[in-house]
Amino acid sequence: MSGPERKPDIDTLVRELIDRRSLSTEGYAALIRERSPETACILRAEADRLKERIYGRDVYVRGLIELSNICKNDCLYCGIRRSNASVERYRLSIEEILLSCDTGYELGFRTFVLQGGEDGFFDDDVLCGLIGRIKEKHPDCAVTLSMGERSRESYEKLFKAGTDRYLLRHESADPLHYRKLHPPEMSFENRMECLRILKATGYQTGCGFMVGSPFQTEKELSEDLKFIESFKPDMCGIGPFIPHKATPFAGEKPGSVELTLFLISILRIIHPEMLIPSTTALGTLSPAGREEGIRAGANVVMPNLSPKAVRKKYELYDNKICTGEESAECRGCLERRMESIGHRIVTDRGDIKKR
Ligand code: 5AD
Ligand code: FES
């Protein structure tokens, strides 16, 4: 029976993951490689059970405001990389950002996610001033920043100014793979150090990665899962890689929606209380992708709150959805989508529920 070519027993791995919330790197790789619709169904049911117990049928919303598509970085996968001369660059004014928050507040958002390229205009003074004004107008709201790698001093200042959360996807937990996705001047070590600093500073911290990025195999994905096991982030965002026409990865295959959903269920089982978004990239590759993400174990959606005029310019990947809609349309659209699968969007900051 147990000859050298015997396949790892999938049922045993599924049991072990559910019972221990952890597998070895090899275990994760085998589970991913050998997955079947039946395995996905079992893990989805367990993920759903865990999520229901902690968050019920509530889905948290974050209003995503895309501050600027100006970026000093040159990530090979990203549509707003500095080498892309075909994108029209923009930067929202402070007044435009505050107006977006006001619109969002009216629509029931209690978290604003300020995301942007690494644009030098948004130095500590500018960002601290902005955060202070948002908090002054909307003291019952959480502010999340997603503004890339900064210094420890900067992260500390932004935290003191009132920032509650920070999103910085680690992109890949494998240093070699990380290097294949980024230009030589970007460093895996610095990215990981930023994540550790963010957590130690006191932020609710989010990491994450793309599914199906070039050169990624089950091995790299299993390292991502091991990293998330040990780092214990408060949030983890994953979405399928989608090629952008003006990047070196233009001709690469997009990631798999099915594998992304499978990994969302695994993430929920590893850390049942984690905040997991059902991402726009999922909705871009599949019409009901975001609903499927919630059904697989996610509990957050992040509709676009950016002014309609700039949306098309913040194209990290081709065919991004919601670039022609108004904020209110996206909010209503997602409300209906969540209701169609027995969930409801709630007017709440949506902090992590720690046991
Ligand atoms: N496909 C999918 N996701 C992408 N991101 C950047 N470019 C792409 C792409 N081509 C993701 C990265 C980044 C986040 C803001 O968007 O993971 O951290
Ligand atoms: Fe934007 Fe549906 S969420 S149109």
CA 141 to chain centre: 20
pTM: 0.97
Residue minimizing CA distance to atom 1 of ligand 2: 330
Question: What does pLDDT average to over the chain?
Answer: 97
DSSP string, 190-251: HHHHHHHHHHHHT-EEEEEEEET-TT--HHHHHHHHHHHHHH--SEEEEEE----TTSTTTT
Nearest-ligand number for the alpha carbon of 71: 1
pLDDT digits (tens, 9 = 90+) for 103-138: 999 999 999 999 999 999 999 999 999 999 999 999
Residue nearest to atom 18 of ligand 1 (CA): 169
Average of pLDDT values for 273-299?
98
Which tokens hold the place of 326?
């108004």
pLDDT confidence of 2, banded at 50, 70, 90?
very low
pLDDT at 174: 98
Nearest alpha carbon, ligand 2 atom 3: 330
Query: Which of ligand 1's atoms lies nearest the C-alpha of 171?
Result: 17
- 211 CA from centroid of ligand 1 (Å): 10
In this model, does residue 300 exceed pLDDT 80? Answer: yes
Domains and CATH numbers, the chain: 10-346 (3.20.20.70)
Report how far residue 351's alpha carbon sits from residue 355's, in angstroms, rounded to the nearest whole number: 12
301: pLDDT strictly greater than 60: yes
Ligand 1, atom nearest to 318 Cα = 10
d(CA 328, CA 336): 12
Residue 1, pLDDT score: 46
* For the CA of 240, the nearest atom of ligand 1: 2
Query: Which atom, in ligand 1's list, is nearest to the CA of 242?
Result: 1
Q: Can you give the pLDDT at residue 7?
A: 61
Which ligand 2 atom is at minimum distance from the Cα of 303? 3
Q: Check residue 32 and give its pLDDT.
A: 98
Exposed/middle/buried for residue 88 (C-beta within 10 Å: 0-12, 13-18, 19+) = exposed
pLDDT tens, residue by residue, 181-227: 999 999 999 999 999 999 999 999 999 999 999 999 999 999 999 99
Q: Which ligand number lies closest to the CA of residue 212?
A: 1
Q: What residue spans of the chain are helical by DSSP H?
A: 10-20, 25-33, 37-55, 94-106, 124-137, 152-160, 175-181, 188-201, 218-231, 257-270, 280-285, 289-296, 308-311, 327-340
Question: Percent of the chain, pLDDT > 70?
Answer: 98
Ligand nearest to the CA of 171: 1
Cβ of 302 less than 6 Å from ligand 2: no
In the predicted structure, residue 308 carries a pLDDT above the cut 80: yes
Q: What percent of the chain has pLDDT over 90?
A: 97
Q: What is the pLDDT of residue 354?
A: 85
What is the predicted pLDDT for the residue at 355? 72
Best probe residue, ligand 2, of 325, 336, 338, 345 (max atoms within 8 Å of C-beta): 325
Kindly state the average pLDDT of the residues 51-75. Answer: 98
**What is the C-alpha separation between 73 and 148, in angstroms, rounded?**
10
Cβ of residue 288 lying under 6 Å from some atom of ligand 2: no
Label residue 5 by pLDDT band (50, 70, 90).
low
